[in-house]
Structure 1
Amino acid sequence: MQRIRLYAAFVLLVNIGYFSLRIWFGCVDRIPNVSPPGWDFAVFWSASWLALHGPAASVFDTALIERIALPLQNMLPTPFVTPWTYPPTFLLVMLPAALLPFPVSCFVYVSAGIFFAYHLCVRILPAVQHPSWWLPVIAFPALWVAAGAGQNSFLTFGIMGLGLIALDRRPWLAGVCFGLLAMKPQLGLVIPIALLFGRHWRAFVSASLTVGVFCALAGLVLGFDTFARFAQALPAFSQFVVEYSDRWPRGILTVFGAVRHFGVAVTTAYALHAVVATLAAGAVAWLWATRASLDLRASALVLATLLVPTYVMPYDLLWLGLPILWLVRDGARNGWLRGDGVVMVSAWLSPLIFYTPGDWAAGIYVPVIVFALLVVVVRRCLAQRVAHASDCASTVSACERSGSNVYSR
């Protein structure tokens, strides 16, 4: 543990250094195209402002939203546009944001998200409250990336984790949590597979109803035309991602993005991505159908959620904290296998790719690490099944010997 704290202290200094540079060059010295903390929240706040001051559907007008967001981001217009690509459900969540000045709103939003996420971490692994654990948790690079961006990762992290914790004892609450992820639909693609193969019918029904109510409420408040505009904007953004996928700064953190970086054709890239996504979804289906432990089932679901979409960004890697916590808990209960620690540490370090120069495209290696961690989960499940079968066989053998001795007497 002492060595882990030492490494975590070094990474924490790197995080603080990068964050400080962002503040200095983005807020104080104001070098163009160096964004201060809250660069992604600037888009959320701008969308809120447009929705509060005019038709909510205007948030899908990139020219309008960039007029507000780019000055907040300290950015000049570039080919990498700053569009609003979220569904009306998330716009409903962010609607009050512009009621406060941008810096205050960003601070409140990020602080509340961090508090929610930390509370969830304590629920998963109570040892996080101990001072010896604070350093590895605070130094987790994805925490700084998500906080610096002002992203919604803390909110979705907490909702997903709470849903998985509540699933066995409070399935209706779990379903509500899963349904709320409709604010970022790509993060809910694998959840139906887990619920159906795990035979969690009440949670599945609850999630479906929540999605319906959430969408209806968003339509009533913002106007149902926002869904039509979202449907129109999504293909354009997808085409933009495909067009720039082979030269995306730091790479797109998926199999699709990785193979596109190496010049593979779009069709082949989609096919290779589909193979890995199918394997990940298959692992989830197997673990949930066979009722593996919650630690392993939940870990597999989160990891597959990061492998199935074709578009994942560095701030989304905050979700890696969930399987890391669950695997630490599982390791404390069932012991460790050789190589587990190396993969887990690699996953913990992987968000550092955000600090690398954009032309390095270091993110292309992230899906390899995420898939390796999924292999760790599957291997641990198989090893535990073998150990359990061996224990049962030993118990039966002992009982037979005991019965034979009694009979012989």
Structure 2
Amino acid sequence: MTTNSTIADEPARRRWLTRERVVIYSGAFLATQVILLVIWAVAHWGLHVPAVPPLGVDFRVYWSASYVTLYEGALAAFDHNKLLSVEAQLLAGVAMEPPYAPWIYPPSFQLLIYPLALLPYSASYVLFISAGLACCLLACTPMVKPGALPWVSVIAFPGIWIAIMTGQNSLLTLALTMAALTLLERRPLLAGLCAGSLAIKPQLAVLFPLLFICGGHFRALGAMVVMCIFSCALSGLIFGPQLWFRFFEAASWFSSAIVERGEGGMWNGMSTVFAFARQLGANIPVAYAIHAAIALPVVATTAFLWTRNSRCNFELRAAAFGTSTLLVQPYLMYYDLAWLIFPLGYLAIDHARRGTWNNVDRAIMIIVWASPMVVLLAVFGPPVGKLGLMLLSKWGVLGMLLLFIATSRHALVRTRPSVQAVPVVR
């Protein structure tokens, strides 16, 4: 999203998306999402409508894994029959067949969700989501302070509400990532600890070591390594090292059955180049080759932007890092698109200060802002045919590619430090 705080004499025809319009559109979208979520909650917990499941389609897995871990041991969470029997109890009275939802998370995250089932499901869900949302909004504060992106646009971002609806950990991983980036220059050790805490979902931390090395942030890199080792060792100490072996077995099965073969229609919810290639009919080696052909240049460009020789500003570097982290994933679900709020936020700051973004750039940002909701329609929406389903499900990855190209274009052309900054009009 963007604002009207650009060059003062910009023609009106180029200011079709002003700050006032952004606030109005975002406010309307926010109100709609809140109303729908309240209706859902009241329908299930208040009116007990049989066709309405409880909020937290994925949190149900977290709570069930916690319950099984508490009462039958950590290894029991990987027993599909035991886990699904607990999940089925949560859906008792709901007129729907319980969806298959296995536990495929590392012991470091299993340790984090360990106490969730000490509370009833509804109370545990509210506490988990409230904590994640609070951390997310706190981490977004430095991005919003310059005044380029209104708070209402952040709060109304569909990715955040989809994370709330599903009860996913996306808000927590988003908060850790933004904290690591924000603290990197001032508090490198704390930044490294935040990055290392992504051991709860390690695939999302894959580019942090490269970022730290390219930027010469070796204290942050050391802190990240220490934090990763500590969290893995602690979970192994509490649950036993065999849990890690069981996790790797489950991850291998998941990669083969779900990621590579798309069982259960999972490709429809995956915003990745790999899933797109598989849906188009590519075999597994060719799909990985296509994915690598996109991911490697993306990583190389991001690495260059983070080198000390690059004169790229922090906002563009952060936006490139966030987008590239998502693009390199062969497995990325629609709820992980909550991460897109921070590339959009930093790009809004860059636009407000420099005024160099054109209407095409703004259109791309709108496409990306709407992408979590569009991809969600591919998963839960009405039938739209095979082609329509493919376009909806891959809206996110196409939007991310366009966003990365636009970000890189602006970053790479700024090789001179004399680009005049434009003050932000609040």
Deviation sequence 1:125-148 (CA, Å, 0-9, x none):
2156x9x92332222111110001
- Aligned residue number for residue 267 of structure 1: 285
Residues in 1 aligned to 2:157 and 2:128: alpha-carbon distance in whole angstroms: 20
The DSSP-based 3-state class of the residue aligned with 1:385 is coil
Q: Which amino acid aligns with 1:335?
A: G
- Aligned residue number for residue 278 of structure 1: 296
CA separation of 1:75/1:252 partners in 2, compared to 1, >3 Å: closer, same or farther?
farther
State TM-score, norm by structure 1.
0.88
State TM-score, norm by structure 2.
0.85
Whichever of the two has the greater Rg, that structure is 1
The reply to whether residue 148 of structure 1 matches residue 165 of structure 2 is yes
- Aligned residue number for residue 169 of structure 1: 186
Deviation sequence 1:249-292 (CA, Å, 0-9, x none):
63411011112222222221111111111122111111011343
Q: Which amino acid aligns with 1:282?
A: A
CA separation of 1:109/1:9 partners in 2, compared to 1, >3 Å: closer, same or farther?
same
The DSSP-based 3-state class of the residue aligned with 1:169 is coil
- Aligned residue number for residue 85 of structure 1: 104
The reply to whether residue 379 of structure 1 matches residue 379 of structure 2 is no
The reply to whether residue 115 of structure 1 matches residue 134 of structure 2 is yes
TM superposition shift of 1:63? 1.3
CA separation of 1:49/1:320 partners in 2, compared to 1, >3 Å: closer, same or farther?
same
The DSSP-based 3-state class of the residue aligned with 2:150 is helix
The structure where helix makes up a greater share of residues is: 1
**Bigger mean CA deviation after superposition, 66-75 or 316-325:** 66-75
- Aligned residue number for residue 368 of structure 1: 398
Higher relative contact order (CA 8 A, sep 6+): 2
Unmatched runs of 5 consecutive residues or more in structure 1: 392-409
TM superposition shift of 1:21? 5.5
CA separation of 1:234/1:191 partners in 2, compared to 1, >3 Å: closer, same or farther?
same
Q: Which amino acid aligns with 1:37?
A: L
The DSSP-based 3-state class of the residue aligned with 1:38 is coil
The reply to whether residue 97 of structure 1 matches residue 116 of structure 2 is yes
- Aligned residue number for residue 239 of structure 1: 256
**Bigger mean CA deviation after superposition, 83-92 or 115-124:** 115-124
The reply to whether residue 301 of structure 1 matches residue 318 of structure 2 is no
Residues in 2 aligned to 1:17 and 1:262: alpha-carbon distance in whole angstroms: 37
CA separation of 1:21/1:257 partners in 2, compared to 1, >3 Å: closer, same or farther?
farther
Deviation >6 Å, runs of 4+: none
CA separation of 1:2/1:38 partners in 2, compared to 1, >3 Å: closer, same or farther?
same
- Aligned residue number for residue 12 of structure 1: 30
Question: 1:339-350, aligned counterparts within 5 Å?
Answer: 339-350=360-371
CA separation of 1:325/1:75 partners in 2, compared to 1, >3 Å: closer, same or farther?
farther
- Aligned residue number for residue 61 of structure 2: 43
The reply to whether residue 355 of structure 1 matches residue 377 of structure 2 is yes
TM superposition shift of 1:24? 5.7
Instruction: Give 1:252's match in structure 2, choosing from 246, 259, 270.
Output: 270
Q: Which amino acid aligns with 1:108?
A: L
The DSSP-based 3-state class of the residue aligned with 1:250 is helix
**Bigger mean CA deviation after superposition, 242-251 or 322-331:** 242-251
Residues in 1 aligned to 2:209 and 2:264: alpha-carbon distance in whole angstroms: 31
CA separation of 1:107/1:165 partners in 2, compared to 1, >3 Å: closer, same or farther?
same
Residues in 1 aligned to 2:108 and 2:237: alpha-carbon distance in whole angstroms: 11
CA contact (8 A) 1:284 1:300 kept: yes
Q: Which amino acid aligns with 1:278?
A: L
CA contact (8 A) 2:144 2:151 kept: no
TM superposition shift of 1:375? 1.4
Question: 1:379-398, aligned counterparts within 5 Å?
Answer: 379-386=409-416, 388=417
Residues in 2 aligned to 1:255 and 1:193: alpha-carbon distance in whole angstroms: 21
TM superposition shift of 1:15? 2.4
Deviation sequence 1:174-206 (CA, Å, 0-9, x none):
111111101001101111111111121111111
Deviation sequence 1:35-92 (CA, Å, 0-9, x none):
33111111111111111112211111111111112342558556x6211101000011
CA contact (8 A) 1:141 1:351 kept: yes
TM superposition shift of 1:381? 1.2
Residues in 2 aligned to 1:106 and 1:246: alpha-carbon distance in whole angstroms: 25
